[in-house]
Amino acid sequence: MREVELLIIGSGPAGLCAAISAASSGASVLILERSFKPGGQLIKQTHMFFGSESQYASYRGVDIAGILLEKLKEYGERIELMLNATAVGFYEDNVVTVLKDEKEYFKIRAKSVICATGAFEKSLAFPNNDLPGIYGAGAVQTLMNVYGIRPGNRVLMVGAGNIGVIVSYQLMQAGIEVAAVLDAAPRIGAYLVHASKLARMGVPILTSHTVKEAIGKDCLEAAVVCEVDERFNPIPGTEKRFDVDVLCISVGLSPLNELLAMRGVEMKYVPQLSGSVPMRSENCETCIPGIFVAGDASGIEEASSAMAEGYLAGLCAAAKLGYAPEDFEQRRSEYLKQLEDLRSGPVGERIRAGMKISQL
Amino acid sequence: MRITKHPILTFERGRELSFTFNGQPMKGYEGETIAAALHAAGVKELGKSSEMHRPRGFYCAIGNCASCQMIVDGEPNVRTCITLLREGMSVETQNGKGRIK
Amino acid sequence: MFEKTGVATREMVITKFPPIERINKGPVAVVECYQKIPCNPCQTACPCGAIRIGEDINEIPQRDESLCTGCGICVAKCPGLSIMIVDGSKSDKTIEFRIPYEFMPLPEAGERVIGLDRAGQPVCEATVKRVMNPPAFDRTPVVTLEVDREFIYDFRNFRREA
């Protein structure tokens, strides 16, 4: 059985930063990535990121993936990136089972593991929500920004959070009409600068609206929306029909961390972090020593926080393996400070509450 | 359905590949997934659901949700949203649960 | 309203503009950032120290119009595309705006376009003076447009004629 020092599951912003951080301290790292492309969801983010210089603010996500992958190379053989490799099991003796290329199945034993498995898109219940043409907003982003293929001609976006408004803007950049963006909440959840970018392109943002039903036989042909009251009940007589061939669902993400639950890590349902998350220390370490979590797998946040958490988890995991750099404490405080900065404003209020509940 | 000009991105497509969809000849490009190539050709319905046999397209495009499963080269339950297109592939819509021979 | 539609009210917009006397003296940045979010590239990018956020990156940027030279470096750096440059020194009838525009095809100098307000509705005519898209702007082109003075607080975007 293959033995590794540090196994990182996932090569998105958290996983890549964790690998760079741990390798820079001297640890040997193996990264497992289930896709044939590294970078996680960074590779489809064409917009400039928020945050500060430490999280590459003002760079486009797709370019940040490139920067981080270049950095990985600096560590040569100390970091191995295995693509098309899905971690399918995580056992008591720190054995991770891997399915590679959908063919080979093998075991890896790791001294330490960082779970940076990300998140998945939630769905929404309404009649005919399974019609082809109804996609997760992230899926449409992949189709359009990774493969350069238009999802359709006219889109209705459900969800006015950051992903909903950003993907709507990106759809327009790809030359696709966005009929409207709706959200059941009475207020726009996205950063308002993103919403304004879309509003001044003439796209109406309809708050207190939801999808009543989708219409179509083999594929989506139209969607009926209606207003909701303050208790989210549909208001009869407010129905509007949009003739669209694409409906994007952007109603939030759920942390993807079943591997940690399987390993026996203490988990907790934390609504502020959008789902079941592992309990962890300030250093991103779970209740099982040597097992860490970083990024959306530990609770849904922005990519900037995922990167800072990755750096922190990588640093602390390496230190636990005996690779504490001289400036360990200084670097640890720096990453903690970055996270505090990113979470300290009004938009971070929910995250701060969630962090408190999920802290060991 | 393919984007040729984009303000931020440039799309470098690989060499053209031929494959079949339900026996019909189709073209796609190296480096793209089966579901992407089909979508570019206007095919959104990839299969039928297992109980009600309702049409199914992809949903997540990252191999998470299983909505895009098709029969590829005779093998069922292939997640076409993450499986790269290869020259000469036979791709078929899958009706319900796939049968493993 | 702003939190429901993403469209800032006229009152809100006016608070972000420097006095007209300053605009008439030469180009100056208008930073339409109304919400506390963790973001500070405008502060980092400004070579004159004219945009200040401070230690807490969640603070709303404050632009000091006496330090701002209207150089426009911040325009392409703002991830929210919330900054534009206004200049009233060129003519007493018009205002020049420099706004970010990440769509294709780009307009050409001399082209007449439809000026849009913050809700994307047509409000005026505008003339494209210049299109800048150097590598330093990293694919956020900045378009200079000339607009009648009366639309100074309304104009925010444009659309090319079909």
Is 80 exceeded by the pLDDT of residue C66? Answer: yes
What pLDDT was estimated at residue C78?
Answer: 98
Interface contact flag, A58 C79, Cβ < 8 Å:
yes
pLDDT at B67: 94
The per-residue pLDDT for A50 is 96
Domains A2-120+253-357 and A123-249 share a fold: yes
Q: What is the pLDDT of residue A228?
A: 98
Query: How many angstroms separate the CA of residue B95 from the nearest CA in chain A?
Result: 14
Residue A142: how many CA atoms within 13 Å on its side-chain side? 25
Do A297 and A259 touch, CB atoms closer than 8 A? no
Which residues in chain C have their CB less than 8 angstroms from residue B7's CB? 102-104, 139, 141
CB atoms within 10 A of CB A214: 21
Distance from CA of C137 to the nearest CA of B (A): 12
Rounded to the nearest angstrom, the minimum Cα separation between B36 and chain A is: 6
> What is the distance in angstroms between the CA of the first residue and the CA of the last residue of chain B?
36
Domain ranges of chain A: 2-120+253-357, 123-249
Spell out which chain C residues touch chain B, with contact meaning CB-CB distance below 8 angstroms. 102-105, 139, 141
Structure tokens at B82: 């993450």
Mean pLDDT of chain A: 97
Residue A228 backbone dihedrals phi, psi, to 5 degrees: -120, 155
Inter-axis angle of helices A303-320 and A13-25, to 10 degrees?
30
Q: What is the CATH number of the domain that holds B38?
A: 3.10.20.440
Instruction: Flag if C102 and B7 touch (Cβ within 8 Å).
Output: yes
Whether A127 has its CB under 8 Å from any CB of chain B: the answer is no
Interface partners of B (3+ CB pairs, < 8 Å)?
A: A, C
Euclidean distance between CA atoms C24 and A255, whole angstroms: 52
List Cα–Cα distances, A227 to A239, A285, C52, C161, in angstroms: 7, 44, 41, 34
A125 touches chain C (CB under 8 A): no
Strand, helix or coil for residue A103:
coil
> Does C103 sit within 8 Å of B8, measured CB to CB?
no
Peptide bond into C105 cis (omega under 30): yes
Does the pTM exceed 0.95?
Answer: yes
Q: Chain B residues with CB-CB distance to A under 8 A?
A: 1-4, 6-9, 11, 13, 32-33, 36, 39-40, 44-46, 49, 54-65, 67, 81-82, 84
Pick from C37, C45, C104: CB nearest A347: C37
Q: Pairing state of beta strands C94-100 and A79-82?
A: unpaired
To the nearest whole Å, the CA of B9 is away from the closest chain C CA by 9
Residue B11 forms part of a structural domain? no
Residue of B4, B8, B9, B10 to mutate when probing chain C, most C C-beta within 10 A: B8
In-domain check, residue B1: no
Residues 6+ apart with CB under 8 A from C122: C114, C115, C116, C159
**CB distance B2–A149 less than 8 Å?**
yes
pLDDT in tens, A253-271: 999 999 999 999 999 999 9
C98 touches chain A (CB under 8 A): no
- Angle in degrees, 0-180, between the axes of helices A328-343 and A349-357, rounded to the nearest 10: 130
The nearest alpha carbon in chain B to C102 belongs to: B7
Q: Enumerate neighbours of C (3 or more CB pairs within 8 A).
A: A, B
- What would the mean pLDDT of B50-70 be, rounded to a whole number? 94
Q: How many domains does chain B have?
A: 1
Check: CB of residue B18 under 8 Å from CB of residue B26.
yes
In B, minimum Cα distance to C139 occurs at B8
- DSSP class of residue A112 equals E
Confidence band for B99, pLDDT divided at 50, 70 and 90: confident
Map residue A37 onto helix, strand or coil: coil
Does any domain span residue B7?
no
- CATH class, domain A123-249, is alpha beta
Q: What is the pLDDT of residue A57?
A: 96
For residue A170, which of A124, A138, A136 has the smallest C-alpha distance?
Answer: A138
Is B61 inside any structural domain? yes
What is the average pLDDT across A138-158? 97
Q: Which residue of C has its CA nearest to B9?
A: C139
* Residue B8 within any structural domain of the chain: no
Going by C-alpha positions, the residue among A250, C104, A153, C55 that lies closest to residue B42 is A153
Range of the domain at B80: 16-93
The answer to whether A184 and A209 have CB atoms below 8 angstroms apart is yes
* Domain covering A2-120+253-357 assigned CATH 3.30.420.610 in the classification: no
Instruction: Decide if C121 touches A, using CB distance below 8 A.
Output: yes
- Verify whether the Cβ–Cβ distance C58 to A348 is below 8 Å: yes
Structure confidence at residue C161 (pLDDT): 82
Q: How far is CA A254 from CA A106, A293, C92, in A?
A: 28, 15, 55
Of chain A, the percentage scoring pLDDT greater than 70 comes to 100
Order of strands across the sheet with B90-92?
A: B24-29, B16-21, B90-92, B69-72, B75-79
- Is the Cβ of C4 closer than 8 Å to some Cβ of chain A? yes
- Tell me whether residue B40 is in a domain: yes
With CB atoms and an 8 Å threshold, state whether A53 touches C56.
no
- pLDDT, residue B100, reads 78
Whether chain A has a CB inside 8 Å of the CB on C41: the answer is yes
DSSP state of A97: E
- Distance to chain A for B15, nearest Cα, Å: 14
Q: pLDDT-derived band of residue A249, with 50, 70 and 90 as boundaries?
A: very high
Per-residue pLDDT at B1 exceeds 90:
no
ipTM over 0.95: yes
C28-55 tens-digit pLDDT: 999 999 999 999 999 999 999 999 999 9
- Cβ distance A327 to A283 under 8 Å? no
Residues 148-207 of chain A whose Cβ lies under 8 A from any Cβ of chain B:
148-151, 173-175
C104-162 confidence digits (pLDDT tens): 999 999 999 999 999 999 999 999 999 999 999 999 999 999 999 999 999 999 999 86
User: Widest CA span of chain C, in angstroms?
Assistant: 47
Q: Is it the case that residue A75 has pLDDT exceeding 90?
A: yes
